[in-house]
């Protein structure tokens, strides 16, 4: 029997959205337990993983430039230009600390309650203007490829570990993949909402008494 899914609810209610995604990709408490297993393995390595991620971001000027903009919650000194920016810059240390806390919470979370869903939703929201920040609005292409890079790093951690049985490795990898798609969707959700909230001008040429002008409607 075909199950009915309310489009309005999954677009406006996090719990309904998560429940629908979970059913579709078969994300269960077994997957959460597998992520907890990954946490026990990866938590000691998180500072190294985080440094790898941010060093990759600094390898390209198009992503590096976001870190000479003041981020939400940061009250310290922001570098004047990109050439001054390093992993040890004050705002980079702030971001590295935040990402460490994020990984620890995600990998240790045992019950995905509404508060946790709000948390991973907020993580996506603050990368857009939807959280009220006009200074940081990261293009989605960078978010998407960063998820791919993060998965590559974590897969390497899993596959190179000799303490996990092969069958359990399979479960952990599948759970990680499902989680990253869920988190990616919670990012995309805010980018889509942001795109719908933008007022686009439609401008067309208009002739008036022989003079050509531009007429715009919003």
Alpha-carbon distance of 11 to 143, in angstroms, equals 21
Higher pLDDT, 158 or 210: 158
Nearest in space to 104 (alpha carbons), one of 57, 62, 49: 49
Per residue in 126-150, pLDDT (tens digit) is 888 776 655 567 899 999 999 999 9
In this prediction the pTM is 0.84
Contact 136, 69 (CB under 8 A): yes
Percent of the chain with pLDDT over 90: 61
Instruction: Give the CA distances from residue 50 to residues 14, 167, 170, in Å, rounded to whole numbers and listed in that order.
Output: 27, 27, 24
**CA dihedral sign, ordered 145, 148, 153, 154:** positive
* Dmax (CA) of the chain: 82
Query: Which is the CATH superfamily of the domain at 7-217?
Result: Globins (1.10.490.10)
Q: What is the pLDDT of residues 105-121, one digit of tens each?
A: 999 999 999 999 999 99
Domains in the chain: boundaries: 7-217
User: What are the two backbone dihedrals, phi and then psi, of residue 6, each rounded to the nearest 5 degrees?
Assistant: -80, 110
């Amino acid at each position: 029997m075909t199950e009915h899914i309310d489009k309005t609810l999954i677009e406006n209610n996090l719990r309904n959205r998560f429940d629908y995604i979970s059913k579709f990709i078969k994300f269960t408490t077994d997957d959460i337990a597998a992520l907890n297993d990954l946490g026990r393995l990866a938590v000691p390595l998180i500072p190294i993983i985080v440094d790898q991620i941010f060093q990759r971001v600094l390898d390209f000027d198009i992503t590096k430039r976001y870190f000479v903009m003041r981020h939400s919650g940061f009250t310290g000194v922001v570098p004047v230009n990109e050439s001054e920016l390093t992993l040890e810059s004050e705002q980079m240390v702030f971001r590295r600390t935040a990402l460490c806390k994020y990984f620890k919470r995600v990998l240790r979370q045992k019950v995905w309650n509404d508060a946790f869903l709000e948390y991973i939703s907020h993580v996506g929201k603050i990368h857009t203007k939807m959280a009220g920040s006009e200074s940081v609005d990261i293009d989605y292409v960078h978010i998407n490829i960063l998820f791919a890079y993060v998965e590559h790093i974590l897969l390497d951690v899993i596959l190179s570990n000799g303490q996990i049985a092969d069958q359990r490795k399979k479960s952990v990898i599948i759970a990680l993949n499902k989680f990253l798609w869920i988190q990616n969707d919670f990012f995309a959700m805010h980018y889509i909402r942001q795109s719908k909230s933008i007022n686009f001008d439609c401008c067309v040429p208009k002739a008036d008494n022989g003079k050509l002008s531009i007429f715009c409607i919003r």
